[in-house]
Structure 1
Amino acid sequence: MGQCDLMPGWRHWLRGGVAAAALLITLNPPAFAQGTASAPGSADEVREVPAVLQSDEVEYQDDREVVIARGNVEIAQGERILLADRVSYDLRTDVITATGNVSLLQPSGEVLFGDEVRVTGDLREGAIDAFRMLLTDNSRLAAANAVRVDDNRTDMNRAVYSPCEICQDDPDSAPLWQVRASRVIHDQEEQTLYYRHARLELFDVPLFYTPYFSHPDPTAERQTGLLAPTMGYSSSLGAMVQPRYYVVLSDQADFTFSPILTSDAGQVAEGTYRRRTRAGRFVVTGSITQATNLDSADDTTANLRFDDPTVEEGDLRGHIDTTGQFDIDQNWRWGWDARWVSDDAYLERYGYEFDDPLQSELYAERFEGRNYFVAEAMTFQGLRRQGDDAQQPIILPNAEYHYISDPNFMGGQLFGELGTLNLMRTEGRDTRRVSGTLGWERNFVERLGGRVSLKGLANVDAYNYNDTVDGQDVIDQGDESGQAARVFPQVAVEYAYPLTRSSWLGTEVLRPRTQLVLGPNGGNSSRIPNETSRNFEFTAGNLFALDRIPGRDRVSSGQRVDYGLEYVYTTPEGGGTASALIGQSYRINSDSALPDSVGGDEEFSDIVGRVSLSPVRYASASYDFRIDDSTGDMSLSEYSITLGSPTLRVGVDYTYVEEQQSELSSFSEREQLTLRINSRVSRYWSVGARHRQNLRDKEPLDTEIGIGYQDECFLFRFSASRDYANSDEADDDTTFMVTIGLKNLGAFGGGQ
């Protein structure tokens, strides 16, 4: 219906109303009988949707069969909306001519602008002078003129494209970068912008020219084509470039080919295949190359900076990295995570991220309420040349079932675990284990307000082993076989009494805690193979743990008393917090199988603690420590401090761990310091630096500096890094990288 200015009088109002009705009837004769619940598709469907005209004034010229609307004109045809100062609609030719601040909103969200627009009555086709387009991501297109065809294709002459914002202080100035072309075609169906005779301009200065160029429009999620390459230089690879080509294979699959071309280390073919199925997804990444320009490997005990001495010139090298996960039903799923490499030095040489050893697994798991089951097979590949891959384990299978009852089982909660492990080696000890745990736990508050926790459990483990040495806990190849079994019960009672105080300064909670743990002495016989309990560190985090030792093969045996003091402070608004814990254990009996840090051969353990501070939004610190109870020396000291807002943020990380040689953990003394600084200098500029130092050997480990610029359409980053070899036989690895990103055109890098 028409909205008309009533000031000219009733004759004008009547004429406007009749004209508006005529426009509706002419555009859509059966429209009043049609529903508008879904968006129209074809031209015939669009014509079935009512058109609505609103304006300040409407005039109908009978002799010419022309409807003229003036002042704040709006024509809505389905999801298409035309706005203008003046609109003339010729009923005989079905052409609408709009002038003055013309804009046309498309169903896709794009907006077309022009000085004069001539479109068909359904607003799907037309021609525009002084054309401008605002895309869905606020990118802009401008052209001398444009033609809209089939409600899908916009053909522009002498066009300019840029996603950069217009400078408000100087709107006539050129954007930071833009693409000029003699012709630009926007195909909405293909979601692509095509350019003919295009040139890229930076700060209005031409950089390069290409006769043909295309890129996806903002609505495209996946499209076959070249991706931006990366380029750089490092002392290990020399000059390097990695082009990328992306291929859409189907709605469920795609492939990226990304070879690595180097000047000093040969060429590497690399690709990644991704696929989704109804049940899940999987990814396969692989690479292959021919060995060339190998490094000297006179020192076979040096780090991975050298090539593997077993690799000869011309040998094939490569790697595979694949993951997958699939649902079987609402409870079951299965998957894999597999990694393999041809030699020890390949991943390091070509800059791939990796863990040592590489772990591969095939698994199936079930989730049901609080209960969980997993069965898995695992293999490992070591990447240290001084290591022996023959002693890497093969696990087939490892199966575990974990059960937790409802919370009110006999006033508490019942929990249990069943497991089996079959671990084999091509050289060295083989181990088979069957294990089970049954336990019960209850927590309650006694009448005086103290919190009481009761816990009891029994572990049962049976072992069979062979190819070891005299039944000792060593992996080395031998001819001894045997069996071992253990039943290990434990009970514990913990009591904590919180003392709370609140004031205008905030809330404080002081909580003394003590725990009595009772269990049999021993239980850690050397005839029980230790495969899963070789990474132990005593900290405040496991002070009150019933069994502090990870894995099942070693246990926290004997009787002990754990005691500590906790403090928590919270500001009135809750934005600032501080917490601290300090504690120790007293062993009623000694156990030489346990480290001295937990009181293995002594009555008292080391003193452990942790302090955490977050007083304000942009300040945080944490400190973990362990103090030798007999000497008062620090055996563990770790702290991390971060201060400042994004404008200027500094950080310090420090780690000191004394040497420890035991069955449960074996490592040399280490002391490292890491310094970090980052600053967002302005809205768009940022800088940062990081340095890591080995304080024990007084040698640097690695250093990195970087500077970056990022706005709504342009990205620039420069970084320089050095990885120090700290070896007379190897050189430091130095890398310089420059990355440049252009919105919607991808990113590319350059090195020097």
Structure 2
Amino acid sequence: MTIKHTLLATALFAVAVLLGALASTPARAEQGQNEENPATFAADEMTHDKELSIITARGHVEVNHGERTLLADSISYNQITDAIKAYGNVALHQPSGDILFADTMEITGDLKNGMADDLLAVMADRSRFAAKKATLVNDETMTMDRAIYSACEPCKDNPTRPLLWQLKAIKIVHDRTKKIITYKDVWLEVMGVPVVYTPYLSYPDPTVKRKSGFLTPNWGASSSLGSIIQAPYFYVLDDSSDITITPLITSQEYGAIHGEYREKFTKGEITAETSGAFDASSRAYGHIKSEARFDVDRTWRWGADLNRSSSDTYMRRYGYGNESSLTSQAFLEGFRGNTYTSFSTMAFQGLSASDDSRTSPLVLPVAQFNYTGDPDKYGAYNALDLNFTKLTRELGTDSTRISVRPSWNISHIAPKGDIYKLRASMGLDFFNAQELPVPQSRGSTYDGSALRPTPELEFDWSWPLARRNGTVTEVLEPIGQVIVSPYGGNSFKMANEDSQDFDFSDANVFSANRFTGYDRVESGPRANFGAKWSVTGDGGGSTSVLVGQSYRLKDDSTFNSGSGLENNFSDYVGKIDFSPQEGLNLLYRTRIDKDTLDFRRHEVAVSGTTSSIDYNANYVFFERQEGSEFSGRKEINYAVGGDLTDTWRARFNGVRDLSENGGQRSTGLSLIYEDECLEFSTQFSRTFYQDRDLRPTDAIMFRVLFKTLGEFSSSVNPS
């Protein structure tokens, strides 16, 4: 049939529909929606039986009503009953994006109510239903008899091959009003083999993001807890908040219960988790980890964290976290123009065997103010830092410090490109301490106050020299820095709370004060010098090198032996960053003894990705500094993963202590299968960590995720 004939048939059919509507019975007139929004038809051939009020269309039939479209080889439309019968290659496109295919379908003129034989429904998320018979009711429910559901696509090479998994049920009902899909007498089949049966199953349809109900249970085993079963329940409180309650049942203890709470507000959010447990001796344990963040207005915001545990090893034993310490805090901070203001308080809980809660400080308060002025016409600007900190302890030192650090800064770029910076500052710190330990020659403890004025002048110079060589840009930048300040400044009367440990490295070699806090300052005339060199290719590859050293006129006893700064000349520090191409990076950082040229620190990090493999490895070595609470370290950690096939991938990782009495600290191996409808993973891990009632542990975990349905997992700790 020609296009001309098709258009003529379409026009005649539309006239027939209009005449039929005018001649319809009162019952037909009740279908107000159809009168206001009549369906439109198109076909290769149309006929109208006026006596029976039946319109027949054949060849590429298309019926449109609102956002719904019906396609078929042929249809017959009864104007009296407002019923459409569709035959051959029937496809009903729905507003949700779902498409219903059938051999035959009977449906009302508004395309909302009907029945279909041999249905195949392709959902918007590409999952599929198949049913011997299906019934549609007012576009609200779809009932399918002798039905199958799966998110798996048929094998392209062998379409008759059983799906990887499917749900086969006597009846499936999709209630779009309640947004839920229910099954009756359902089997889970894997590769065509029935493996699990349940008389009833329900879950939210794909349009639902959050809905109350039980989540997939987990089960496993632990050497300290025995057999474990977890059955989480998710409950939606409202559109912006929900909770998850997870009972944990064990064979060797009385079990535990874990809860999570989440709520979002217009100007903030709250998240919290808590738990409680009883062991076999009826001793109670618990923990809480919570966080709140809220904006007051465009300038101010506040927050609070509450993190506590009833015992040091409880969270690690029950799998609620691996933290070595917990910090609780509350703060108020504001950002306005060039200023920053904050008020905060902090409390700490150490979870290591050597931690004593009586010596952990309560920091109340910490007040901070920072201001940076606008540059004048010469580029000069003023800055001001203020800090007030007070710490109290049940056992040990109580301390208070007030710090004022005003400064004047100016920078200048000379005509040849060299850069000059000048900073003049006058620091003033007031200290008060109670029961402060002092050198033996000074007694046992000190109670009293001290004042520390610290005038300082800093001059920086650098000169970036660049040249172009073909497709490569090379930059060489010598750097020099001179700082002048009085000697001394770190009296035994001043408590050191925030500057106890630091690391001399390439990151701070050009810093005027390498201490991280306010309690300690560098003093005396000193200089820092070194150079940066970099080369960058147009293709994206790059290499950069930095070396530096410090010099001071007199030794500074503030720096402990092994710090690299205890002598006039410091150790050498450097960094090499090598990235020859995208997806490959090598980083090396080092500190070398100035006298013996022995390496005092190594850090090597390599990472990369290819089309199928990603990998990273980090090696670190440094010696313990005298007086530091941290021991030396010689360790390597590594991970490599990659795609074995289009659906299989593997990953291996580990941590090894390379010191004399070290050994393997942890090892992990995982194997993952993933396709469009299923994800399966198995993971083996072993930790060699031992802490009081915690012992080295082997763990095996299996996890199966049926996409669009949910997951189940099992973990076993055989040791």
Per-residue deviation, 1:160: 0.5
Deviations 1:208-231 (A, max 9, x none): 110000112111101111111222
Alignment of 1:338-377 (within 5 A): 338-377=306-345
Q: In the alignment, which residue of structure 2 is the partner of 1:681?
A: 644
Which blocks of at least 5 consecutive residues in structure 1 are unaligned?
Answer: 30-41, 293-312
Counterpart amino acid of residue 641 in structure 1: V
Per-residue deviation, 1:22: 4.1
Query: Does structure 2 conserve the Cα–Cα contact (< 8 Å) formed by 1:27 and 1:121?
Result: no
Deviations 1:404-450 (A, max 9, x none): 23344751343322221121111111111222222233333211111
> Aligned partners of 2:241, 2:183: CA distance in 1, in Å?
28
Percent of paired sites with the same residue = 34
Per-residue deviation, 1:545: 1.8
Deviations 1:26-82 (A, max 9, x none): 6799xxxxxxxxxxxx99667644543333333333233233333333222222222
User: Are 2:594 and 1:629 equivalent residues in the alignment?
Assistant: yes
User: Are 2:571 and 1:606 equivalent residues in the alignment?
Assistant: yes
Over 3 Å counting, the alpha-carbon distance change for 1:95 and 1:46 in structure 2 is closer
Over 3 Å counting, the alpha-carbon distance change for 1:126 and 1:542 in structure 2 is same
Which segment is superposed worse, 591-600 or 487-496?
591-600
Over 3 Å counting, the alpha-carbon distance change for 1:611 and 1:487 in structure 2 is same
Counterpart amino acid of residue 61 in structure 1: D
User: Are 2:418 and 1:423 equivalent residues in the alignment?
Assistant: no
Over 3 Å counting, the alpha-carbon distance change for 1:179 and 1:602 in structure 2 is same
Which segment is superposed worse, 525-534 or 443-452?
443-452
The one of 703, 707, 711 equivalent to 2:671 is: 707
Q: In the alignment, which residue of structure 2 is the partner of 1:522?
A: 488
Per-residue deviation, 1:739: 1.1
> Aligned partners of 1:558, 1:70: CA distance in 2, in Å?
98
3-state SS of paired residue (1:349): helix
Query: Does structure 1 conserve the Cα–Cα contact (< 8 Å) formed by 2:147 and 2:169?
Result: yes
Per-residue deviation, 1:622: 0.7
3-state SS of paired residue (2:202): strand
Over 3 Å counting, the alpha-carbon distance change for 1:409 and 1:99 in structure 2 is farther
Alignment of 1:228-627 (within 5 A): 228-292=216-280, 313-408=281-376, 410-469=378-437, 480-574=446-540, 576-595=541-560, 600-627=565-592
Q: In the alignment, which residue of structure 1 is the partner of 2:153?
A: 165
Q: In the alignment, which residue of structure 1 is the partner of 2:709?
A: 745
Deviations 1:269-328 (A, max 9, x none): 111122223332212211111122xxxxxxxxxxxxxxxxxxxx2211111111111222
> Aligned partners of 1:443, 1:266: CA distance in 2, in Å?
68
Counterpart amino acid of residue 607 in structure 1: Y
Q: In the alignment, which residue of structure 2 is the partner of 1:638?
A: 603
Over 3 Å counting, the alpha-carbon distance change for 1:472 and 1:534 in structure 2 is farther
Q: In the alignment, which residue of structure 1 is the partner of 2:116?
A: 128
Per-residue deviation, 1:494: 1.8
Query: Does structure 2 conserve the Cα–Cα contact (< 8 Å) formed by 1:43 and 1:122?
Result: no
Q: In the alignment, which residue of structure 2 is the partner of 1:200?
A: 188
3-state SS of paired residue (2:215): strand
Per-residue deviation, 1:480: 3.8
Query: Does structure 2 conserve the Cα–Cα contact (< 8 Å) formed by 1:405 and 1:415?
Result: yes
Query: Does structure 2 conserve the Cα–Cα contact (< 8 Å) formed by 1:593 and 1:600?
Result: no
Q: In the alignment, which residue of structure 1 is the partner of 2:617?
A: 652
Q: In the alignment, which residue of structure 2 is the partner of 1:80?
A: 68
Q: In the alignment, which residue of structure 2 is the partner of 1:19?
A: 13
3-state SS of paired residue (2:480): strand
3-state SS of paired residue (2:656): strand
Coordinate RMSD, CA, aligned: 2.6
Query: Does structure 2 conserve the Cα–Cα contact (< 8 Å) formed by 1:193 and 1:217?
Result: yes
Deviations 1:686-715 (A, max 9, x none): 112122111112422111111111111111
Over 3 Å counting, the alpha-carbon distance change for 1:317 and 1:729 in structure 2 is closer
Per-residue deviation, 1:749: 1.1
> Aligned partners of 1:247, 1:179: CA distance in 2, in Å?
26
Per-residue deviation, 1:611: 0.9
Q: In the alignment, which residue of structure 2 is the partner of 1:220?
A: 208
Q: In the alignment, which residue of structure 1 is the partner of 2:653?
A: 690
Which segment is superposed worse, 123-132 or 453-462?
453-462
Alignment of 1:29-68 (within 5 A): 48-49=36-37, 51-68=39-56
Q: In the alignment, which residue of structure 1 is the partner of 2:27?
A: none
> Aligned partners of 2:693, 2:328: CA distance in 1, in Å?
33
3-state SS of paired residue (1:661): coil
> Aligned partners of 1:126, 1:666: CA distance in 2, in Å?
76
Q: In the alignment, which residue of structure 2 is the partner of 1:33?
A: none
Deviations 1:335-391 (A, max 9, x none): 211111111121121122243321001111212234322211111112123321111
Which blocks of at least 5 consecutive residues in structure 2 are unaligned?
Answer: 24-29
Query: Does structure 1 conserve the Cα–Cα contact (< 8 Å) formed by 2:561 and 2:625?
Result: no
> Aligned partners of 2:69, 2:365: CA distance in 1, in Å?
65
The one of 178, 197, 200 equivalent to 1:190 is: 178
3-state SS of paired residue (1:547): coil
Per-residue deviation, 1:178: 0.5
Over 3 Å counting, the alpha-carbon distance change for 1:181 and 1:47 in structure 2 is farther
3-state SS of paired residue (1:365): strand
Over 3 Å counting, the alpha-carbon distance change for 1:413 and 1:713 in structure 2 is farther
Query: Does structure 2 conserve the Cα–Cα contact (< 8 Å) formed by 1:587 and 1:599?
Result: no
Over 3 Å counting, the alpha-carbon distance change for 1:564 and 1:211 in structure 2 is same
> Aligned partners of 1:675, 1:428: CA distance in 2, in Å?
41
Q: When the two structures are aligned, how many residues end up with a matched partner?
A: 709
Query: Does structure 1 conserve the Cα–Cα contact (< 8 Å) formed by 2:253 and 2:278?
Result: no
> Aligned partners of 2:560, 2:573: CA distance in 1, in Å?
14
Alignment of 1:715-734 (within 5 A): 715-725=679-689, 731-734=695-698
Query: Does structure 1 conserve the Cα–Cα contact (< 8 Å) formed by 2:562 and 2:625?
Result: no
Per-residue deviation, 1:561: 1.5
